[in-house]
Structure 1
Amino acid sequence: MATLDESLASFLKSHAPNNASSETDAVKASQALFPAISYTDAEKTEISQWLITSTHLASTAEDAAKSAERLSTLNTHLSSRTTLLGAKPSVADIAVYQKLSPVVSKWSPDERTGEQGYHHIVRHLDFVQNSPVFALKLEDKVDVDLDNVIFKIKPIDAKAEKERKKKEKEAAAAAATASGATPSTLTADQAPESKKGKAKAKDKVQAAGEAVASAVTGNAGGGPPEGAPTKKKEKKEKQPKPPKAAPVEKPLSPSLIDLRVGHILKATTHPNADSLFVSTIACGDPPGTDNTSEYEGQIVRTVCSGLNGLIPLEEMQNRKIIAVCNLKPVTMRGVKSCAMVLAASPRVAEGEDNHKGPVELVNPPADSKAGDRVFFEGWEGEPEGVLNPKKKIWESVQPGFTTTDDLEVGFDVEAVPQLSGEGSDKKTGVGKLKTAAGICTVSTLKGATVR
């Protein structure tokens, strides 16, 4: 788990209640700040991740494009959330406030609420500094003018939208009933004889009922004379549904890959493929997650990996690995594989066999736990739920996965032309693969490819 840096600890000591600054762990600090709130294991991991991300948000060591990308990602994340976790407050919200408040205070009105402005970041910052939920004791707050909004973003109320659609369906059903429509797509002439007979009988009953009603009331209401054709109700014009907002497409980044620490509980040979192992791996998924099952009280994924003959089966037992968790599941010789195990192998020339080995599994830090988020330094962000195979995200960024001379795993931006750029704007450097507990490594392979 992430620890509080000195500046955040000092900020909490001066401005936060409940003596949270005495805690160095992000989750424990959150629990001290908000004792009535309980956090799931996934939320605890997210708190740690956001604490790490917050340290980069206002970094002066990064170029403007990278800073803008981080802010844009944060703004998009907050567009449908009150807090970073959705609704639950945590120390991560205060960390983001502490790092960004000096920056936001210098933003122009256009940067704050212009068409390309960071509306949701400003809203979140104002909520943290004023809400009794956080109860921060601040003498100097960021001046936020709620009336000075240059470009208004129409919020979507999910509950109201659901209610509106429900009323539309009810109105359409009532209009269909009033106009004599039936749920069937058949016309009266096309309907089977049995259905025609039922319809005629229904019409007779309805006509008889109307005749009785007319006799009882004596036609006192001044309605049409007996036997006159009844006037159909006017069918309400169906209002067109508003177009769905196009989903916001995240820019290409290795952060779109859902990398996590996995714990192999057992591994066996594939019953129908000599080159495959079948592993049962805990990846920190909550109960009910798609493509998971339960094994020895833990939520697990079944994973096929082409490592048979490259890594001894005994080395696959009861060990920690790094898993790619948002690839689309594939069935391999009758066994559904729901993740991928990261491994390093030497780079080979085009045309050579890239499966001949040697192969080494990527090792997470010793203190890591199953489900811990794994990310490349400098490329933090929210992963996609499931990668769209048509967009080739994995295929685009994987060439940058490498090992260094120090046997650390990293992302070499120069190996991905879409991200590295050209000329004076060309990006360089290798971002290390790490968890909150440290850096991921391999045993002996230097300059290897990782996949």
Structure 2
Amino acid sequence: MSLKYNSSNKVLDIIADLVDFDKSKVTFTEDQNASLRLDDGTVIEGTNTICQYLVQQSGKFNEWMGLSDNDKAEVQQWISYAQSTIKEAKDKAPIVQNLDKVLSSKVFMVSNYLTLADIIIYINLYSYICKLSTEDRFKIPNVTRYFDLIQNLVHEIKPKIVFDLVAINLNAPPVQKKADKKDKKDKKDKKDGKDKKDAKQENKKDAKQENKKEAKQEKKEKKEKKEKKKKPAPEPAAETGPDPSKLDIRVGHIIEARKHEQADSLYVESVDVGEEEPRTVVSGLVKFMSLDQLINRDVVLLCNLKPVAMRGIKSHAMVLCATSTDGSKVEFVTPPAGTKPGDKVVIGNYNGTPEKQLNPKKKIFESIQPGFKTTEEKECVWYAPDNTVHKFNVNGAVCKVDSIVGGGIR
């Protein structure tokens, strides 16, 4: 079931406005996953992926995706960081403070020009910056300066968008209240002299005695409370970054394939992934590959996505492919020689237990996928948010593509 466009998705709202795209074409599933169906029947899912598609198709803002392969990879990492870390954080203060350190030597997040990463970070920071007082904004000067720059650049492109300009005075002096109080205190101290000093010492003595009593009472109450408890309350789980081990990625073998009866752009494949029965998988590969290139082909699949019906046929996995930077070429991610259906594909050293089925609301795949890339050696890797590189491998042997360099993997 599809729902109408959800205006609460501010990222899609603003990106669609900037590139003059009709937002009503984007629909949402019942679990609020964004979905865009193209005229050829291809379905694009996920806010990040749709936004990148809209920018690429607009033709006016190609530099937003990065001008070099390194810049493109960095843009993807920051988009993932904005959507999975900044957006989802309940307490944004520590994240913004770290961001302030990063921005101490940067004007933009990537290189020296505006990218989609800057715009999405700006959107996810908006409500937080709005709530800060002028004094609090001076505590994060680099973030404040960066936010003001990006909001003005965005409003130059499209003056009337979802967000209003936030009034920020970068030249305002720091609050002088403390200095004023100090001057008054010095004058008063000179006038009162010894009397004030004696009174202060007496107050300290009284306060010290009172604090001892309170500390003793508090210690007693804590001891009694501890004895009454049968079990200590479990500590809340610490927040962690994207974890590729939650993805169930396996080697598969395409047994047979045919064209979808109701969609010219889709293939329907029967794929052996090491289970009792083959899985039915639907892929939008008709314009890029012939049936002969699919049948009897070893591939790599993501097997724990929630099954999705595509033109009446439910797809139970996703074949991972690399797409060239200009979108003209698509190639399979190929498992190493000697592997067999069902073999586990590990990303770097992330070899934990996969989720049985990914919860669409947690956006696990969406937070990881933007870092999936192909290298100059045509190896398939994941660029983590901390810029470390992790290879797709089966027992240490690396998965590759035939020819695409610097392409995204999905």
Q: Relative to total residues, which structure has the larger helix share, 1 or 2?
A: 2
What TM bracket, shorter-length normalisation?
0.3 to 0.5
TM-score by length of 2: 0.41
Larger Rg computed on CA atoms: 1
Q: Which has the higher contact order (CA 8 A, sep 6+)?
A: 2
Query: Under a length normalisation based on structure 1, what TM-score does the superposition of the two structures give?
Result: 0.38
